[in-house]
Amino acid sequence: MVTDSTLSDMERRLVRYGDLRPCRNAFVDSRSPGSEQKENFTIIGPGVSENPNQHVHIALPHGFNIGGARQPPGCLNSQHSHETAEVFIVQSGRWLFRSGERGEDGEIVLTAGDTISLPIHMFRGFENIGDDVGFMFAVLGGNNPGRVTWAPQVFDLARDHGLVLLANGRLVDTVLGETAPEGVAPMQPTSWEDVARMRRVSSADLAACVQHASWLPSSAPSVLAQHAFSGHLDEAAIIGEASPDEQLPAGHMAWSHGFHLRRLAFQPRTTVPSHVRRDEEVLLMHRGTLRFQWNGESLDLSPGDVLTVPKGSPRQYSNPCDAPAIVFVVRGGDPPAAPEWVADMSA
């Protein structure tokens, strides 16, 4: 079924990079030395922020969450673990990822265009080791990705700097004069028994969880690429199982995440004709300009912009410029369905 969306409908589903609203004390480590300058963003879905004042740009359930992290050089995110898939797509910067309770198990470096899928129940942390402010998109599995599990030492550092995490997952800032509600106790630090149950992941293991942009394999054109005209489109699978209906092989990270991740590279003046999807589709703009057209309307996406297109809504994508355009696409489903082409190619 094809659904209609007005310009105002779609503008409410578009988050411009320049309009992102950061939270600078989203987590219990926000004042720990080395972490106090990090910015966290909740773009689609509730995310995992511990601060009840974290701004959520788009609350609509998608089956996955989209967030972001922005950090200046030398700023780090403390060791922690998640209950669902956590995927980072590097928009800018040079990032060092470390595994282990104190970051002692393994490490790997990612740069712009690289993707990492971090296993659940594994301590991980990351640091911007580049020379400029860096930004990463984050994709978390599920409508409710649960709470963060912090390494034990994070609690001690937080307490020393006025932050207390409560048993209900809410953060209390004693520096601002906040107090815990009556009857709500502080969260107990992660026990050493729980630490021992975490996965141990080496540098070689981490490498198997990474898709470097320069290592994307070439394959036969997907269904989407075969319909592109006036230029050339490459569609590469990064996360998710093979999708025969789309003529796409499995991604390098083929295990189930609850979503798929693809990279679309549009050569100048390339257009993909109007089609609809039965799954959630979110565009994470990486490089260049992408024009999204539907029902006689259009929006141009720039680097860092996020757009979620409704199920059943027609969509036509094109690169109107003389430079390549790259967009990462998150789609729901295991596997997602093939595009359904709309007869009116001028949509």
Report the sign of the C-alpha dihedral through residues 278, 282, 287, 292, in that order: positive
Residue 147 resides in a domain: yes
Query: pLDDT tens per residue, the chain (347 residues)?
Result: 456 789 999 999 999 999 999 999 999 999 999 999 999 999 999 999 999 899 999 999 999 999 999 999 999 999 999 999 999 999 999 999 999 999 999 999 999 999 999 999 999 999 999 999 999 999 999 999 999 999 999 998 998 999 999 999 999 999 889 898 999 999 999 999 999 999 999 999 999 999 999 998 888 899 999 999 999 999 999 999 999 999 999 999 999 999 999 999 999 999 999 999 998 999 999 999 999 999 999 999 999 999 999 999 999 999 999 999 999 999 987 777 899 999 754 44
Residue 172 domain flag: yes
189-208 CB burial, b ≥16 within 10 A, e <16: bbeeeeeeebeebeeebbee
Give CA separation, 312 vs 15, 42, 166, in Å.
20, 25, 42
Q: Minimal CA–CA distance to 150: which of 185, 110, 198?
A: 198
**Where residue 30 sits, what CATH number does that domain have?**
2.60.120.10
- Do 275 and 258 reside in the same domain of the chain? yes
Can you spell out the DSSP letters for 45-58? S-TT-S-TT--EEE
In a domain? residue 12: no
Answer with the one of 179, 211, 243 that is the final residue of a domain.
Answer: 211
Q: Are 143 and 286 found together in one domain? A: no
Q: Give Cα 83 to chain centroid, integer Å.
A: 15
- Residue 122 has a CB neighbour count (10 Å cut-off) of 22
pLDDT tens sequence across 267-301: 999 999 999 999 899 999 999 999 999 999 999 99
- Tokens 């974290």 identify what position? 54
256 and 201, same domain (yes or no)? no
